């Protein structure tokens, strides 16, 4: 039986995970809380709507594609029914930057002032008041619900040429089981600069014990979700982003990802190679350098018809 406080936490968490963009009007970042870990140097901040956001700046030090990658990754995962934090564009003002110099970007040349304007904001899951962790003990993996989602996430990351390991946080439920939430998509679509050449095992969650052996039911469900993906709807949502966030390299890489994940034969081939590689790793922490699997070749179709004319 779920207590009333647990029910409130479930409702709040559901709001934090709802489909983005979550903002119907401009939300302004008002109070700096702290810097967060990560190469893009995100910050945690309170906004005018009373919510807390993880904010990534447009001139972050990782690369020009980070904001697009975060949004397209969130939308792609959400479309495949994988849990991700809700996101939305948030406004960072000059007055905020003047008031909180501690949020400025550390660079080789010293402190770099972030650019004011619209930035990427991801709802901070800690608002729900539940305990979250990034690392599980070996005995905890069996208590993670819906573990087959990690196979689908890995498949998406391979199709999206994810250039970093899969980042996940785990929420501990009242019944002592765990729910996974997939975060940090800035390295999708060939990375923040759009020029990475990732190997497929790079994007796997760092501890392979999270991957249970795939059943036929799981396999069919993964294929069903990829077949049900509405690529045109995803493109429509991305077209509404600010033009400066839609770099040519990011759009091309997203188009190639959509082509791969919509191709049933290629999806089946990738799944087969994933399962074979997982068996060879023998269920232990896996180094991407162990893989002899070659990087995915680029698609010959560089972009979805009609997209090039509208955005390049």
Residue 241: half-sphere exposure toward Cβ, Cα within 13 Å: 28
- Does residue 280 carry a pLDDT above 90? no
What separation in angstroms does the CA of 78 have from each of 7, 19, 84, 86, 165? 23, 7, 7, 9, 19
- Does residue 118 carry a pLDDT above 60? yes
- Does residue 287 carry a pLDDT above 70? no
Establish if 97 belongs to a structural domain. yes
Q: What is the mean pLDDT of residues 242-247?
A: 93
Query: What residues are paired with 112 via a beta bridge?
Result: 105
pTM value is 0.84
- Does residue 64 carry a pLDDT above 90? yes
One domain for residues 179 and 92: no
pLDDT (0 to 100) of residue 26? 81
One domain for residues 200 and 277: yes
**In the listed set 128, 158, 181, which residue is the last one of a domain according to the structure?**
128
Domain that holds residue 141: 132-297
pLDDT (0 to 100) of residue 10? 46
One domain for residues 33 and 138: no
Q: What is the mean pLDDT of residues 236-265?
A: 93
More confident residue, 198 or 79: 79
Residues 6+ apart with CB under 8 A from 175: none
- Does residue 12 carry a pLDDT above 60? no
Establish if 59 belongs to a structural domain. yes
One domain for residues 89 and 167: no
One domain for residues 226 and 119: no
One domain for residues 100 and 184: no
Distance, CA of 6 to CA of 173 (rounded, Å): 9
- Does residue 302 carry a pLDDT above 50? no
One domain for residues 227 and 157: yes
Establish if 306 belongs to a structural domain. no
Quote the mean pLDDT of the chain.
84
pLDDT (0 to 100) of residue 7? 41
- Does residue 175 carry a pLDDT above 50? yes
């Amino acid at each position: 039986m779920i207590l009333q406080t647990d029910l409130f936490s479930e409702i709040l968490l559901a709001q934090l995970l709802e489909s983005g963009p979550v903002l119907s009007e401009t939300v302004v970042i008002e109070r700096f809380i702290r810097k967060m870990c990560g190469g893009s140097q995100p910050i945690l901040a309170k906004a005018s709507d009373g919510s807390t956001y993880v904010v990534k700046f447009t001139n972050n030090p990782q690369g020009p594609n980070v904001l697009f990658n975060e949004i397209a990754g969130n939308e792609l995962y959400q479309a495949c029914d994988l849990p991700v934090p809700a996101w939305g564009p948030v406004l960072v003002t000059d007055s905020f930057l003047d008031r909180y110099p501690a949020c400025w970007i550390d660079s080789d040349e010293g402190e770099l002032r972030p650019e004011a304007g619209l930035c990427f904001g991801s709802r901070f899951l800690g608002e729900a008041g539940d305990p979250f962790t990034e690392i599980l003990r070996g005995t905890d993996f069996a208590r993670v619900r819906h573990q087959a989602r990690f196979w689908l996430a890995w498949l998406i990351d391979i199709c999206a040429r994810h250039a970093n390991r899969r980042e996940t946080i785990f929420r501990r439920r009242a019944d002592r089981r765990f729910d996974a939430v997939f975060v940090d998509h800035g390295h999708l679509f060939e990375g923040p600069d759009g020029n990475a050449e990732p190997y497929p095992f790079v994007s796997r969650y760092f501890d392979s014990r999270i991957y249970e052996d795939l059943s036929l039911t799981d396999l069919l469900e993964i294929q069903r979700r990829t077949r049900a993906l509405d690529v045109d709807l995803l493109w429509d949502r991305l077209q509404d982003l600010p033009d400066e966030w839609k770099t040519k390299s990011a759009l091309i890489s997203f188009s190639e990802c959509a082509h791969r994940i919509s191709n049933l034969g290629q999806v089946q081939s990738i799944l087969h190679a994933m399962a074979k590689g997982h068996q060879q790793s023998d269920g232990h922490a896996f180094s991407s350098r162990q893989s002899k699997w070659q990087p995915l070749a680029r698609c010959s179709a560089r972009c979805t018809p009609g997209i090039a004319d509208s955005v390049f």
